[in-house]
Amino acid sequence: MGGRATGDVLKSPARILRGDAFDLIGAVDEASVDLIVTSPPYWGLRSYGLEHSDEVLDRWEAAGCSRDRVPPYDWYAREGGQLGQEPYPSWYIAHLVEFFERARRVLKPSASLWLNLGDTYFARWSSIRDGGRQGISEGRTRRRTPSGGYLHDKQLLLLPARVAIALQDAGWILRNDLIWSKPNPMPRPEQDRLRLAHEHWFHFVQRRTTGRPSYFYDLSQAEEGGLDVVSVRPVAGTNGHSAAFPPGLVRRRIQSTCPPDGLVLDPFCGTGRAVIEAVRLGRDAIGFERQAGYASEARRALKNALAELPEKQAAKSASV
């Protein structure tokens, strides 16, 4: 399987693996992936039904560590922490940078990373919901987030920008900040601000040891006009997943930044939209998902998508 993931865990080209992306990334072959397209959990919004321990911060301090120092992800996860539910945005940002540092090993030099992120308003007391949005409501997990510095009630945190800058600082080259404009945002009760109606899709590529970055790109496959603002209606995910990729938006990213026979990886794949679109477009694809229900939903959807493919293409994409 020249050029494809051939590690023990990854025997076939189209697969959904259940587990923690920070662990599973270690099983992917070096320099095998052409495109990572992904949307990790946003900070402080949804739990996706994953268990999280709010005691992580106390344990970190009990171990004699200051809150300003960020625990490595492995320690954080071992103590029951979930990505996206870190007590501080700085911890979340550092964990994302740590993940993409691990992911760098599996990327070909010509590969791209598309990272979709949305923003969060700060609230000292916030309710984290399984599938919904942040807000104060009855019967939900309520978590106290220590305030201080720029962490102040009602503050828009600019988290996508902070993550993008941290990745630049870690050596990634940012090529675009594509704005996904949503023409039909959810109604909100606030009467003192406008409704958030956009998310970011950051396109990163890698530095070369010498010379300018060079990577696969087919502009003719991007949206008409090739602009960095795209208006697409969000489409509800299957199995109650509320943060699924709009198929059209992810399809364009795959067509324009993954070569026709390339390998796509979505390490936080939810219901598997990126993986499914990738195989429909004739690419190989791997998805990681930690939540059992979403992982099996993604497997089911991938199986159906493979069944609908022309015979030759399905044989190439092998088993789920």
Ligand X SMILES: C[S@@+](CC[C@H](N)C(=O)[O-])C[C@H]1O[C@@H](n2cnc3c(N)ncnc32)[C@H](O)[C@@H]1O
In the complex, which residues of this chain contact ligand X (CB under 6 A)? 20-22, 39-41, 48, 50, 83, 237, 241, 243-245, 268-271, 273, 288-291, 294
Rg over CA atoms, the chain: 19
Other C-beta atoms lying within 10 Å of the C-beta of residue 158: 14
φ, ψ (nearest 5 deg) of residue 92: -60, -45
Q: Which is nearer to ligand X, 20 or 79 (CB)?
A: 20
Write down the least CB distance from residue 209 to ligand X, Å: 31
Strand arrangement, sheet containing 107-117: 14-18, 284-289, 263-266, 33-38, 107-117, 198-205, 173-181, 229-231
Write down the least CB distance from residue 164 to ligand X, Å: 17
Write down the least CB distance from residue 85 to ligand X, Å: 9
Q: Which is nearer to ligand X, 72 or 226 (CB)?
A: 72
Nearest to 54 by CA among 126, 143, 147: 143
Write down the least CB distance from residue 120 to ligand X, Å: 13
Write down the least CB distance from residue 258 to ligand X, Å: 16
Cα gap 320→304, rounded to integer Å: 10
Q: Which is nearer to ligand X, 202 or 288 (CB)?
A: 288
Write down the least CB distance from residue 290 to ligand X, Å: 4
Beta bridge partners of 65: none
Q: Is 292 exposed, middle or buried (0-12, 13-18, 19+ CB in 10 A)?
A: exposed
Q: Which is nearer to ligand X, 13 or 41 (CB)?
A: 41
Residue nearest to ligand X (CB): 270
Q: Is 68 exposed, middle or buried (0-12, 13-18, 19+ CB in 10 A)?
A: exposed
Q: Which is nearer to ligand X, 172 or 245 (CB)?
A: 245
| Residue found under tokens 């106390």 | 58
Q: Which is nearer to ligand X, 13 or 84 (CB)?
A: 84
Nearest to 243 by CA among 299, 182, 202, 300: 182
Write down the least CB distance from residue 232 to ligand X, Å: 13
Q: Which is nearer to ligand X, 41 or 71 (CB)?
A: 41
Distance of CA 224 to the CA centre of its chain: 25
SS3 content of the chain, % helix, strand, coil (to 5): 30, 20, 50
